[in-house]
């Protein structure tokens, strides 16, 4: 009879040792947290004292009816802000470096702190400068999120090299291990690096997890320098086995992770509620309340309006360049499929020669791509020299700000596609049409033109299913970063 012990000891399943850290690899978390703290300090000090200088001038100014100067106020606000970021758990290991919960906590800590400061100032009659609220708070929130985003960019690079990650041993059936390993390999930035895979087959095995099993598992974890056991499913191990695996681990140094047979669901929709001793995971159904729709539309109108005003000189300069690039209109209008399948005219600065659409099918057929869902031509000869530069930096997309103001598009959402491309949609992909299409989206900031169709659809569906205003802000920040440093995948 084959037992779990013999399978755990088996050397049939290979593993690799990389630089992901060894036992007690939480040291990488402390190292990363120190960089985050340093980034927060730089941002908070710069914003608070910068606000003081910009609003009140470079010279010391006393607070009205108070013995304190604004330098003292800025120092106190800096200390309070850093304390709030700590107390609100923005640097907790559970949220640091992954997901949008970290950004939510940063915004919540900042807004609630300034609300508390405003209440205290009102109750004490202190005539505190409004510059801290009108300038310091919004700039500070944006700068803190940018700082966290830069820290994550560094962390992602390290994780792609195999460092700064938890070393994980998968335990489960062959199918479960393969599924979880495939998902983790697709997202190395998640910070779970598989160093060992153990396939268990319980055919004819009736006993529960024993001390002998636990001893062999602990030895294998030490051999692999692993710090986590990830149970990839429940087809092989039952609830009692999983609980005993947890008991066998070194508390605080080794961790137990249990995978649920569910992917692409973000944290805000997941809630764990223990009921009658069962750790039930509640999955909220995706929905868009009236408040959410109002917030998204208001964010679109305000954001697009501000960008149009700021970029109006850029619009004028680009219009002149497009006019000089060759015959044809300055603006190019193409019919795309919008929310609910309704067609609309999407605006762009013209980046191709006049009459380029009539050659699309010919070029797709020549490259053997006329039966694929993404109508993209490699090394497209129709693009003008100016158009190639406009596309690299996404400047040809700027006129879509008027589509946003007109309600046909959003600043963030799945990119609108042509009717012929929508014909390739299956039932899952049609869920992209639930929301307004966007100027930028999760697909664009995660790989731009380099992503395959399946990956692009998966990212768009993740956005649709897990929308949040904070998520939109993060995507826009990543968009600006991608535009300024487009890399080799932008064309």
pLDDT tens digits for range 419-469? 878 888 887 788 888 889 999 988 878 765 556 777 788 888 888 888 888
Phi-psi region of 448 (alpha: psi -120 to 50; beta: other; left: phi over 0): left
Domain limits of the chain?
4-21+165-261, 26-159, 290-484
CA–CA dist 85, 78 (Å, integer)? 11
β-pairing verdict for 192-199 and 166-172: parallel
Closest to 404 measured CA to CA, from 338, 320, 480: 338
Whole-number pLDDT of residue 60: 81
Which residue, chain included where needed, has tokens 């002149």?
320
Question: In 276-404, at which residue ranges do the beta strands (DSSP E only) sit?
Answer: 278-283, 331-337, 343-349
Closest to 43 measured CA to CA, from 126, 136, 143, 118: 143
Residues 222, 167 contacting (CB under 8 angstroms)? no
CA–CA dist 347, 329 (Å, integer)? 12
Domain made up of 4-21+165-261: CATH architecture: 3-Layer(aba) Sandwich (3.40)
| 123 Cβ neighbours under 8 A, 6+ residues apart | none
Q: What is the mean pLDDT of each run of 10 residues along the chain (491 residues)?
A: 37 36 60 92 95 88 78 93 94 82 92 94 84 92 93 89 85 82 82 82 57 77 85 76 80 80 62 65 71 91 95 94 89 91 93 74 64 61 86 90 95 89 82 90 72 77 84 87 66 51
Residues 77, 48 contacting (CB under 8 angstroms)? yes
Give the strand order in the sheet containing 192-199. 192-199, 166-172, 228-231, 255-258
Whole-number pLDDT of residue 105: 93
* Cα dist from 241 to 159, 166, 175, whole Å: 31, 23, 19
Q: Which two tokens stand for residue 26?
A: 């939480």
Whole-number pLDDT of residue 21: 42
The structure's pTM equals 0.67
Environment class of 390 (CB within 10 Å of its CB; exposed 0-12, middle 13-18, buried 19+): buried
Rg (CA), the chain: 27
Q: Which two tokens stand for residue 344?
A: 């609309």
Whole-number pLDDT of residue 205: 46
383-403 residue pLDDT tens: 888 988 998 888 999 999 999
Whole-number pLDDT of residue 273: 66
- Please report which helix (H) or strand (E) contains residue 244, including its range: helix 239-248
Query: 469-484 and 290-310 helices cross at what angle (nearest 10)?
Result: 30
Whole-number pLDDT of residue 17: 33
* Cα dist from 110 to 85, 104, 144, 145, 238, whole Å: 7, 10, 10, 11, 44
Where helices occur in 325-452 by DSSP H, the ranges are 360-366, 385-392, 400-405, 419-422
The SS3 call for residue 17 is: coil
Where helices occur in 57-100 by DSSP H, the ranges are 70-87
Which residue, chain included where needed, has tokens 């300034």?
114
CA–CA dist 464, 441 (Å, integer)? 10
Residues 131, 51 contacting (CB under 8 angstroms)? yes
Phi-psi region of 447 (alpha: psi -120 to 50; beta: other; left: phi over 0): left
């Amino acid at each position: 009879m084959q037992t779990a012990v013999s399978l755990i000891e088996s050397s049939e399943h290979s593993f690799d040792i990389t630089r992901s850290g060894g036992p007690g690899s939480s040291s990488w978390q402390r190292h990363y947290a120190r960089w985050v703290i340093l980034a927060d300090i730089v941002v908070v000090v710069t914003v608070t004292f910068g606000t003081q200088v910009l609003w009140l001038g470079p010279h010391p100014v006393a607070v009205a009816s108070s013995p304190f100067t604004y330098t003292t106020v800025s120092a106190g606000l800096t200390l309070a802000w850093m304390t709030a970021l700590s107390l609100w758990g923005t640097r907790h290991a559970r949220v640091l470096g992954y997901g949008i919960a970290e950004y939510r906590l940063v915004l919540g800590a900042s807004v609630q702190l300034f609300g508390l400061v405003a209440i205290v100032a009102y109750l004490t009659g202190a005539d505190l400068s409004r510059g801290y609220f009108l300038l310091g708070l919004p700039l500070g929130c944006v700068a803190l999120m940018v700082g966290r985003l830069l820290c994550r960019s560094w962390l992602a690079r390290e994780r792609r090299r195999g460092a700064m990650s938890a070393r994980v041993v998968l335990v489960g059936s062959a199918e479960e291990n393969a599924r979880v390993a495939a998902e983790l390999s697709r997202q190395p930035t998640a910070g779970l690096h598989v160093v060992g895979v153990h396939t268990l087959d319980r055919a004819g095995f009736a006993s529960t997890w024993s001390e002998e099993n636990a001893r062999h598992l602990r030895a294998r974890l030490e051999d692999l320098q692993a710090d986590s056991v990830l149970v990839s499913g429940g087809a092989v191990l039952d609830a009692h086995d999983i609980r005993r695996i947890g008991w066998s681990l070194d508390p605080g140094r080794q961790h137990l992770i249990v995978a649920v047979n569910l992917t692409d669901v973000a944290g805000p929709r997941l809630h764990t509620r223990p009921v009658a001793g069962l750790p039930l995971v509640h999955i909220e159904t995706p929905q868009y309340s009236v408040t959410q729709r109002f917030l998204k539309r208001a964010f679109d109108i305000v954001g697009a309006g501000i960008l149009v005003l700021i970029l109006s000189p850029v619009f004028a300069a680009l219009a002149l360049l497009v006019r000089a690039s060759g015959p044809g209109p300055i603006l190019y209008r193409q019919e795309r499929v919008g929310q609910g399948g309704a067609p609309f005219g999407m605006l762009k600065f013209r980046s191709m020669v006049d009459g380029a659409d009539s050659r699309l099918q010919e070029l797709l057929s020549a490259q053997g791509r006329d039966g694929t869902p993404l109508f993209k031509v490699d090394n497209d000869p129709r693009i003008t020299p100016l158009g190639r530069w406009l596309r690299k930096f996404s400047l040809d997309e700027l006129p879509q700000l008027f589509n946003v103001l007109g309600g046909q598009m959003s600043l963030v959402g799945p990119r609108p596609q042509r009717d012929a491309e929508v014909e390739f949609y299956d039932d899952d992909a049609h869920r992209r049409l639930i929301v307004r299409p966007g100027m930028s989206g999760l697909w664009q900031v995660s790989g731009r033109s380099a992503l395959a169709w399946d990956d692009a659809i998966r990212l768009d569906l993740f956005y649709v299913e897990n929308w949040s205003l904070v998520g939109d802000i993060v995507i826009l920040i990543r968009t600006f970063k991608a535009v300024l440093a487009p890399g080799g995948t932008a064309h």
